[in-house]
Amino acid sequence: MEIKSALTRFDTWLTTFKTAHLFALIGLLVYGNALFNGFVWDDIPQLLNYSLSHSISNTPEIIFSKHPTLFYRPAATLFQAAIYSAFGPTAFWFHFFQILLHIVNETMVFVLLQRYLKRLVAFAAALVFLVHR
């Protein structure tokens, strides 16, 4: 009976605003260690060695040219170009904005799911999605 009462109180307390903050806290706790790591694996060909991703002014070329590593991801490349234009080749900012984008996505997953599921179920599903990236 106590568990049901605690879940009811948590469900009453849980709002979208509070969920966004909880996801930000949990996301930073889970992925925060990545902030101080350098570039790895696919960052080299897709970011550091791909000169079009070094400036947002390359937008037409990013959208209409063939990517040399066989991936056509213009939105991701434009996102990287914006970060590279603002901060240069600093891994911290790329990791920070990727984590931030992931947290925002999970909050949107929660908002979508709570329209169709109970709030606690939506929260649990979005939380699983957050930590199992």
What is the number of structural domains in the chain? 1
Per the structure, the complete domain to which residue 124 belongs is given by 16-131
Residue 124 located in a structural domain: yes
Residue 80 located in a structural domain: yes
Task: Tell me the whole-structure pTM to 2 decimals.
Answer: 0.78
Residue 86 located in a structural domain: yes
Residue 10 located in a structural domain: no
pLDDT digits (tens, 9 = 90+) for 44-101: 877 787 777 787 887 788 778 776 666 777 888 888 889 988 998 888 998 999 999 9
Written as one string, the DSSP assignment of 46-75 is IIIS-GGGG-GGGHHHHHHSPPTTS---HH
pLDDT digits (tens, 9 = 90+) for 31-57: 988 888 888 887 787 778 777 778 788
Residue 69 located in a structural domain: yes
Q: What letter represents residue 43's amino acid?
A: D
